[in-house]
Structure formats: structure tokens, C-alpha cells
Amino acid sequence: MSTPLKALTNEQLAHFEREGYVIVKGLFSQEDLQTIENTFEEISHMKVPGHFEPELGGETDDPLKRYPRVMHPHRFNETAMKYMLHKPVLEALADLYGEEALAAQSMFYYKPPGSRGQALHQDNFYLQVEPGNCIAAWTAVDAATEENGGLLVVPKTGDFALTCPDVADSNESFTTHYVKPPKDEKAIPAIMDKGDVLFFNGNLIHGSYRNKTKDQFRRAFICHYANASATHISNHYRPLFRQDGTAVDLEVNPDGGPCGVEFDMAYPH
């Protein structure tokens, strides 16, 4: 019996296992990226209650009020659904999981010039995938640099326990939670070219700085996935989807997590 072809190399898999993340090139064509750009440019001029609620009229002192992130666009837009289920991404995820991946969430970040970043955090604190873990596929629609607020990762925290967060600095972060890196580990920039995909697991501590440029957006299409053997997930991420678009309902995770059930998780994802 022949061994199935892998989407990722042994070196990429080893890097993910060791560091908690890996950057992969070539999973989206230029045509794919242009379609994603065009779709979210169109969305940026509308309001979609519960998903995208920009302030479209007049000036604002916060660029994120004009360009907030789009939450779960796959629930109202066919293109977002198509690329959340993008076959090359799901094949890479199958390698990382060692089994089929289920799509749980899509997001689009515009991150306009001058906008705040997102304090360091851990994704599975919110998704609560069990057993197993969520994995993010963070696609750079624009090149992501230190200047325009590209992603920061804390290497080797992929196996760091989920931590109840502290309060973030609201002058620099548009979300309220902050997870302090462990001693001797620090956040480093994940420099990415347009079209690169950064995969990282749900325990990896990551975030971003402010977009310090005056004229560069740092757009990103971000999706979260769960392993097919998972049985529970937070209610905000149901239903999940197989690659063929079939919906899958996992059980709602009743666990309060590291903060207990009274903690307000504020749904920042």
C-alpha cells in the first residue's frame, strides 16, 4: 500500500511541532488572492449586522471603527466559504493534524494605517476545541511587516498551557486580553510575503503591534480549524464544515477553562 503524498515537508512538520507554527508558501494563486481582495473590498463598503458594522460616514479618530474586522464572513459570503475550505490549506492541515480538518471560523482583518494591534493571546482559550486543538491558517493578503503591524509569535509556546489572561493596554490593543509569555521566551515578528500562510496551534501565544505606516493596509484572511476527532467546541463556532461543505455539529464545550465559568471571554475571536 503506497504512502499518501504529503502537502508539507518533513522539515515543515518538524518546525510546527518544535516551534508551534510554520509559514507555508504557494497555497494560494495570484488569481485566488485577487478574488479575496476584491471580495473584501466590496464588503468594506457595506454593513452586515453581526458580522461587519463599520462607521461609513465621516471622519473617525479610530481607523478600526471604519475598518473593523469581518467576523465569520463564510456565513454570508460564498467566496469566504470557498476559501475557508480551500483544498491546499486543508491538505496542509491534514498533515499537521494527522487527520481531516474541520473549518470552524473565518475572519478578515483590514488593519488600516494607524490602527491598534492585538495583544498577545491564545486562540484555543476561545475556541475550546477538545480533545485536540484548533489550528489557525493566517493568510497574508498584503505583505506583513514589522512596520504595518504583522503578526508576532512566541516560539515554543505551542505546548504552553492555556492561561487566564490579564487586561491588555487599550491604547495599543483593540482586544481586552493579554497573555504574558513564559520566562525566557519573547515575541518575534512573523515576516510574511503576500500569499504566505502562517499555521499555528491554539496554545501558541501570538498577537500584533500597531500599524505604524501612513499608507499601508495589512489585510489578512484568517480561518480556524479543529481536528475531525474533536467532540467539543465553544458554541460561537458551530457548525463546522468539511471540505465538501457538509456541516458538522460538535457538542458545546461546557468547560469554563483556566478562568472558570464566571469569566467574561468577550468573544474577541
Q: What is the pLDDT of residues 49-61, one digit of tens each?
A: 999 999 998 778 8
pTM for the full predicted model: 0.95
pLDDT per residue over 65-86, tens digit each?
999 999 999 999 999 999 999 9
Residue 161 has pLDDT above 80, yes or no: yes
pLDDT at residue 267 tops 90: no
d(CA 241, CA 106): 11
- Tens of pLDDT along 205-262? 999 999 999 999 999 999 999 999 999 999 999 999 999 999 999 999 988 789 976 5
What pLDDT sits at residue 3? 52
pLDDT higher than 60, residue 1:
no
- Three-state SS letters, the chain: CCCCCCCCCHHHHHHHHHHCEEEECCCCCHHHHHHHHHHHHHHCCCCECCCECCCCCCCCCCHHHHCCCEECHHHCCHHHHHHHCCHHHHHHHHHHHCCCEEEEEEEEECCCCCCCEEEEECCHHHHCCECCCEEEEEEECCCECCCCCCEEECCCCCCCCCCCCEECCCCCECCCEECCCCCCCCCEECCECCCCEEEEECCCCEEECCCCCCCCCCCEEEEEEEECCCCEECHHHCCEECCCCCEECCEECCCCHHHCCCCCCCCCC
Per-chain mean pLDDT for the chain: 94
pLDDT at residue 15 in the model: 98
Q: Delineate the domains of the chain, giving CATH numbers in brackets.
A: 15-52+64-251 (2.60.120.620)
pLDDT score at 4: 63
